[in-house]
Structure formats: C-alpha cells, structure tokens
Amino acid sequence: MRHQPAALVGIVTERQEAQKALEETRARFIQAQKMEAIGQLTGGVAHDFNNLLAVVLGNLSLARKRLPPDGKLRQLIENSIQAAERGATLTKRMLAFARRQELTRGPIDVPELVRGMAELLQRSISSNIPVSTQFPLQLPLAFADASQLELALLNLTVNARDAMPDGGMITIAAREQRIGGGEVASLAPGSYVCLSVTDTGTGMSEETLAKATEPFFTTKGIGKGTGLGLSMIHGFAEQSGGRLVLKSALGRGTTAELWLPAAEGDLLRGAGQAPAPDLPVLNPLTVLVVDDDPLVLMNTGAMLEDLGHKVLEATSGEQALRVLRRNEAIDLVVTDQMMPGMTGAQLIDAIRTEHTELPVILASGYAELPEEKLTGIVRLGKPFEQADLARACEKCAGGSAGRALPSKARLIPFRLLKAQRNHRPDAAFLL
C-alpha cells in the first residue's frame, strides 16, 4: 500500500511533463505561424513601398537634370533623393527579413558598413550601453550580401543588448585571418574577414550554447523572442561560404563571430577607387514597358524617353503580347514580375515562344523567382534609378539576354548624348 502513492505521483509527474512539452510545442508552432504571417505582410508592404520609392527616385532624378542654376533648389532635390534612398535601404531590410529579397553578393567594406549603421544600432539599444569599434587600418573587403550582413549585425547587437539587462558594453570588431585545411570546422582554406560582436552580459551555459543556433530555440520566453535570429544568421553565413561561431560562458559575456570569405584580389579598405566611366546608353530604341502600376509604368517610360528611346506601354502580360504581335520593330521589353493574371516570368516564357531572340529585362525586388525559367535574363532590382536602367539596357546590347540589339543601338557616352540633346555644336560624338 505504501508504494501505490509513489506510483501515482510518478504517473502524474510524467503526464504533467508531457503536457508541458505539448504546450511548449504548440506555443512554438503558433509563434512560427505568426512569424510567417508577419513575414508575408512585411514582404508585401516592402514591395509596395519599393514601387512608390521607384517613382519618387525616378522623378526626382529627372527633375534634377532640368533644374535652373539655383543652389538652394538643387539642395532640396538632393536631400529628397537621399531620403528616398534611405527608404529604399529600409525596404531592402524588410524584404531580407521576409526572405523575399533577391540576394546579391559583392565586395563589402565592413568598417564602412558598420559606420553607416551607427545611428540605427544606437537607436536599437539602451543609452546606458556604449558601443565601441575595433578595426585594423587595412582590412580586405568581405564577399557577401550587404543587406543580409546589415540584418545579421543588427540581430547580433540586439541579442547583446538583451544579454545585459543591467547595462554593459558592446564591442564590434573585425579582423582578417587565413584559414588552412581543417583549422575551423566547415570553412574551406582561404582568407576570411571575421566580424565579431562582444557583450559583457550574463553569458550562456554549455547546454544553451549548444542549442543557440537551433531554429525556434530562445531563452527569452514565449512572445519575447522568435528563436529565429541566430538560425537565420547561421544560414546566411553558410550560404555565403562562411560560418557563425559563438563563444560564451556564464557570467563572462558572449562573442558572436561571423566569418565571411574575403573578396578575391587586392581589394583593401582605403585603396583608391578608379573613377566611374561615362555612363553608356543606347541610341534610340523602341522599348515596350510592362507594369500593372500606372505610376511605375509612367516613371520607367519617362526615364527611357529621357535617354532618347521610344516607349510603348502595357499594363498586363496579355496586353504586352498583343502589342508585340502588332509591332515588329520592338527592340527590347522591360517587364515587372508581380502582375495579376500573368507574371513577368510567364510573359517571358510566352515571348520566347513567339519572339525567340527578343531581349527582356525583368524588374523585381523579390527573390522568389522561377530561376530555371529566367536563364540569360537581365534582372533589375526595384527601386532602380535611370543609371541602373541604362546599364541593364547595355547588358542586353552585349547579348547576355538573347540576340544583340540592332546595329542602330551603338553606344555613346551619356555626357555626349546629353550634349547632343542640348544641340552643342562643339561636342565630338562617338558613333
């Protein structure tokens, strides 16, 4: 009789533990659903803002070219352009969070990137937590996606803040290190840039440290942490050919190291950059622009017309195909991706069937694109400026998106084209 209560207690305890585990699993599932919904909402809002910012940036750029010699007016325009560009940077971060941004790897000046985020990072932490930086005089450029790196750095800084409820110090540092075979797990031999974020907080136990990068694992409690931050950074690092390394001990703070491959070549921070060449544009072409947003459609057409091209417009993929069937002289198509009825990728499929060699530029800010159907297609990220559009047209002229553009599309430098439009008789034109 004395053993029965113990058995009952054991059964009740097991059931309570099972119930608790079930509730935790259910809570994490609900949290994951909430994050997915937030991600979808964020991606949609960012896409719409990208379209609006594309119109603002495009019109401001065109207005700047037509300004009278008024320094104050020009400064107002420049300030507006800078504000719109900051908005574009914000939407890129939102799309990166929602996993809907088209990732673009390239050389990154890490110290310059950190300095550019200084205001954002300081706003994200308490005023009683100072942030210091430690960078060497020379550091190779890292090779990664700049927007994703910004998001990773922001997440690591916020994690460091949360680990110091009573205040402390955050140190952001970077160094170069060459890795040989087998020195650091999962890293190929080569040169790396190690960006680290160190806090003086509570630290983590060995058990917590082992689970820190697992999806949905968090020590912040339900509703206070998603458990996705470190796992997203871990995935970003591995996709970039690097690794996330966490070092921590209870009471001794935490150091998060983000290892990224160094850009190839002698690209050192502080090295002088060659001046940008004259922006090439194409001689007059007939361009079909396709977009369901009338403001974006009008803005893209205005930028092309300002470059000297003839523009035809369509508000849907179906209408674009009808225009193509009526006009044999179209040299290039610029299409949006997210359109009702027929997406840009589906329009490109139809164009390849009926107009095999017609080059197409796909304009989109989304990463979720059918890559297998877009081989050889020139891509243009939204929001884009006139210079980006001109360079995309130049890529098409090089044959990267199908046949070369007609012989009338010989390149001339942008500044000379502008002089030609202003009827300057003293300009020497390269035709």
pLDDT in tens for each of the 431 residues of the chain?
Answer: 555 555 555 666 677 777 777 777 776 677 556 656 665 666 667 667 777 887 888 888 888 878 877 777 888 888 888 887 777 766 765 665 555 555 578 899 999 999 998 888 888 887 778 899 999 999 999 999 888 898 889 889 988 888 888 888 999 999 999 888 666 667 888 899 999 999 998 887 676 666 555 544 455 544 444 444 576 777 778 778 888 888 888 888 889 999 999 997 544 443 444 444 455 556 788 999 999 988 889 889 988 998 889 999 999 999 999 999 988 789 999 999 888 899 888 999 999 888 888 999 998 866 555 566 676 788 888 788 888 888 888 888 764 343 334 434 433 333 333 333 333 333 322 22
Q: Which two tokens stand for residue 52?
A: 């609006």
- Tell me the pTM: 0.51
In the chain, domain spans: 1-101, 103-261, 280-421
Q: Are 85 and 77 in contact (CB under 8 A)?
A: no
Distance of CA 352 to the CA centre of its chain: 29
| CA 364 – CA 343 distance, rounded (Å) | 11
Q: Do domains 103-261 and 280-421 have the same CATH topology?
A: no
| CA 82 – CA 387 distance, rounded (Å) | 16
Task: Write out the E strands in 109-169.
Answer: 131-134, 142-145
Q: Scanning the structure block, which residue is given the tokens 């206070």?
A: 224
Q: Are 386 and 307 in contact (CB under 8 A)?
A: yes
Phi-psi region of 419 (alpha: psi -120 to 50; beta: other; left: phi over 0): alpha
| CA 161 – CA 199 distance, rounded (Å) | 8
190-194: list long-range contacts, CB under 8 Å, 24+ apart: 190/261, 190/262, 191/140, 191/261, 191/262, 192/242, 192/259, 192/260, 192/261, 192/262, 193/110, 193/139, 193/140, 193/141, 193/142, 193/259, 193/260, 193/261, 193/262, 194/257, 194/258, 194/259, 194/260
What is the predicted pLDDT for the residue at 73? 80
| CA 29 – CA 269 distance, rounded (Å) | 45
The fold for domain 280-421 equals: Rossmann fold (3.40.50)
Q: Are 81 and 64 in contact (CB under 8 A)?
A: yes
**CA-CA distances (angstroms) from residue 47 to 39, 147, 355, 367?**
12, 16, 30, 11
| CA 50 – CA 414 distance, rounded (Å) | 26
What is the predicted pLDDT for the residue at 204? 78
Q: Are 323 and 78 in contact (CB under 8 A)?
A: no
The strand order across the sheet containing 131-134 reads 131-134, 170-179, 190-199, 254-261, 243-248
205-213: list long-range contacts, CB under 8 Å, 24+ apart: 205/250, 209/246, 209/248, 212/246, 213/244, 213/246
Distance of CA 315 to the CA centre of its chain: 27
Identify any residues that bridge with 268 across adjacent strands, giving them in sequence order.
140
Q: Does domain 103-261 match CATH 3.40.50.720? A: no
Q: Which two tokens stand for residue 321?
A: 């195909």
What is the predicted pLDDT for the residue at 55? 81
| CA 152 – CA 149 distance, rounded (Å) | 5
Tell me how long the chain is: 431
What is the predicted pLDDT for the residue at 274? 42
